[in-house]
Amino acid sequence: MAIKLAPLHPLFVAQVTGVDLTSPIPDDVFAKIEAAFHRYAILVFPGQPLTDDQQIDFTKRFGPLETAPNYAGAALRLRNEFTDISNLDHEGRILDPKDRLNQYNLGNQLWHTDSSFKARRAKCSLLSAREIPPVGGETQYADMRSAYDALPEERKSQLHGLVAEHSIAYSRSLTGFDGFNSDIATTLPPVPQRLVDYYPESGRTSLYLASHASHIVGWPVEEGRALLEELTAFATQEQFVYTQNWKVGDLVLWDNRCTMHRGRPYDPTQRRVLHRTTVSDIATSFLEPESKVGDTADSRQGASGIGPRAVD
Ligand code: OGA
Ligand code: MN
């Protein structure tokens, strides 16, 4: 069975078939998956009915597993290597929409990227569809590399060197959630992240945005917030967005450093169950050397000759 890639969008996202993720992946096959990950930023693997252990084994090929602290302070259904993207309580029953855990999870319907509020941010996430409602509940993804490419040159240079402060307490306050563990301020204090970053693996430069980004360091809060809102609106225009219509057994892998995503609404009386594993990045974007942020012709066009450039 040979691995096969099929683009699902003009700018990013490819479907991967011809590989069985329920058993160990040979190194040469994994190398192809990794190269596709850097090129497309999002890979969709249909028909992969993974157990939790199989999902963890595949996830670890990409780097160190991130473990999820218990942010919302409720009893959890899954072990702490997983983020529970479901509407179930710890005993597997559908949560009351007013339940605090559901209120917390509503934050996932805002455009975000995972763990940008952590000093060691996330490299990638892997989301495995276990139960899917009959309508709604899609996940949308936005390509922040193509959005960056499409910005006017003058705007690009204004953004270089800017640092945004990211905080989970801030993003969850946007949906009215205030039920955090009392120690959240000490365990997850706000962190600085570069607004623009360059990735040598793909040769691409990307915006780094999320609902967790509250303001620009050193700027008046409202001015920074307005810039973040403007860029988020720009980066999530239709031409940069892919919609994943889930089928049970789909596994989607995404690069958190150069994409954003959001869950779409669905009927909360229907079960929606997805299990997420997350891989930590090697370092914070902020602590990388300054020279990493580049805007050479190579980085703008993509050294690997990825798809068409977005319109300028
Ligand atoms: C995620 C996420 C949104 C959704 O898996 O990290 O934010 O509901 N998912 O699909
Ligand atoms: Mn998420």
Residue-wise DSSP of 168-215: HHHHHHHTT-----TTHHHHS--EEEESEEEETTTTEEEE---TTEEE
Cα 296 to ligand 2 centroid, rounded to whole Å:
31
The backbone torsions φ and ψ at residue 29, rounded to the nearest 5 degrees and listed phi first, read -70, -40
Q: What is the pLDDT of residue 118?
A: 92
State the Cα–Cα distance between residues 212 and 119, nearest whole angstrom.
Answer: 13
Q: Please report, in angstroms and rounded to a whole number, the separation of the first and last CA atoms in the chain.
A: 40
Cα 263 to ligand 1 centroid, rounded to whole Å:
5
Assign residue 176 a region: left if phi > 0, alpha if psi is -120 to 50, beta otherwise? Answer: left
What's the predicted TM-score (pTM) here? 0.90
Q: What is the pLDDT of residue 20?
A: 98
State the Cα–Cα distance between residues 134 and 166, nearest whole angstrom.
Answer: 35
Cα 233 to ligand 1 centroid, rounded to whole Å:
19
Cα 129 to ligand 1 centroid, rounded to whole Å:
11
Q: Which of 276, 277, 278, 279 to mutate to test the pocket of ligand 1 (most atoms within 8 A of CB)?
A: 276
3-state SS, residue 141: strand
Assign residue 220 a region: left if phi > 0, alpha if psi is -120 to 50, beta otherwise? Answer: beta
Strands 42-45 and 14-17: parallel
Q: Distances from the Cα of 142 to the Cαs of 97, 110, 204, 256, 278, in angstroms?
A: 27, 12, 15, 11, 18
Residues near ligand 1 (Cβ within 6 A): 85, 108, 114, 125, 127, 139, 261, 263, 276
Cα 108 to ligand 2 centroid, rounded to whole Å:
6
Q: What is the pLDDT of residue 276?
A: 98
Q: What is the pLDDT of residue 74?
A: 77
Q: Which residues of the chain have pLDDT under 50?
A: 288-312
Q: Which residue in this structure is represented by tokens 């068409």? A: 308
With b for 16 or more beta-carbon neighbours within 10 A and e for fewer, the 256-272 pattern comes to bbbbbbbbeebebeebb
Q: What is the pLDDT of residue 188?
A: 84
State the Cα–Cα distance between residues 11 and 222, nearest whole angstrom.
Answer: 32
| Nearest ligand, CA 274 | 1
> Where are any strands of DSSP class E within the chain?
4-7, 14-17, 42-45, 83-86, 122-131, 139-143, 163-166, 191-194, 196-199, 204-207, 213-216, 241-244, 251-255, 259-263, 273-280
* Paired tokens of 219: 């700027």
* Type of residue numbered 22: T
- Atom 6 of ligand 1, residue of closest alpha carbon: 114
Cα 122 to ligand 2 centroid, rounded to whole Å:
10
Q: Which of 130, 139, 279 to mutate to test the pocket of ligand 1 (most atoms within 8 A of CB)?
A: 139
Of 213, 262, 257, nearest in space to 241 by CA:
262
| Nearest ligand, CA 276 | 1
- Atom 2 of ligand 1, residue of closest alpha carbon: 108
Q: What is the pLDDT of residue 182?
A: 62
Q: What is the pLDDT of residue 287?
A: 52
**Which atom belonging to ligand 1 lies closest to the Cα atom of 114?**
6
Strands 139-143 and 163-166: unpaired
- Atom 10 of ligand 1, residue of closest alpha carbon: 263
Per-domain residue ranges for the chain?
4-287
With b for 16 or more beta-carbon neighbours within 10 A and e for fewer, the 169-190 pattern comes to bbbbeebebeebeeebeeebeb
Hey, what CATH class is 4-287 in? alpha beta
Q: Which of 101, 117, 274, 277 to mutate to test the pocket of ligand 1 (most atoms within 8 A of CB)?
A: 274
Find out whether 268 and 94 touch, Cβ atoms under 8 Å. Answer: yes
Q: What is the pLDDT of residue 186?
A: 75
